[in-house]
Every structure is written in structure tokens, then in C-alpha cells.
Amino acid sequence: MKKSKLLLVSWILSALYFVYLVVYFSGAIGGSTGSEQIGASLAGMLVMPHALLVLLGLIFNILGWSMNKRGFALTGAILYAVSMVLFIPYFFFVLVQTILSFIGFAKLKK
């Protein structure tokens, strides 16, 4: 069976973005002291729901791509869209993945 290239690109971009989130926010907490750590911890807590939904969307996107299942692809696309709403300053990091996932979902056969 032929795999969706759009879903493949979407989950690769999401994986790279999730790695960026983990590295950026874990590095900010470890290399500072005092009030900087408090600020970095608060920022990490604000981004955590966004990062969690990106991770869940990534998992469902991979499942949709590997198994050619429309339901998984749609779930991943919806999770990406919700993650954009949860942390609006970073919406542009997930916008391309959301669009590609919805188009990939529409192109998968029933």
C-alpha cells in the first residue's frame, strides 16, 4: 500500500519541533539560577499543554501514516490544531503540520 507523503512530512516536522521544545525548555531551566529558574519553570509550565498535544498529535500522525488509517490522521490533525490554540505565540510552528495532516487525511482512501 502506498504511504501518504504529506503525513510523512508532517510527522517529521512535528518530531523536529518537539525535540526543539524539549531541548529549549530543558536548557533554560538547568543553566540559570534563582529568579531565572523560577521564570523558566513558569514558561515551561505554560508551554507544557502545547508540547503534550504536539506529542500526542505526532503519535497519532505516525500511526495514521504507517497504518494508512484516516481516523488516526484526523485525530493527529485535530490535536495539532488544538495545540495551536493552547499556546498562540507558537502557533506558526505547528501551522504547516496541521495543514499537511488535514490534506493527508482528505487524500487517504476510505
When computed from its CA atoms, the radius of gyration of the chain, rounded to whole angstroms, is: 15
Position 102 confidence tier, pLDDT thresholds 50, 70, 90 = very high
Does the predicted model carry a pTM greater than 0.85? yes
Amino acid letter for position 65: W
Task: Note the maximum CA span of the chain.
Answer: 55
Average pLDDT over residues 78-95: 94
Long-range pairs for 28-31: beta carbons < 8 A, 24 or more residues apart: none
Between 79 and 44, the more confident residue is 79
How high is the pLDDT of residue 26? Answer: 75
Count Cα neighbours of 22 within 13 Å in the Cβ-side half-sphere.
Answer: 9
- Dist CA 105 CA 110 (whole Å): 10
Domain boundaries, the chain: 5-107
pLDDT, tens only, 15-72: 999 999 988 877 655 556 777 777 777 888 889 999 999 999 999 999 999 999 999 9
User: Do the Cβ atoms of 91 and 84 come closer than 8 Å?
Assistant: yes
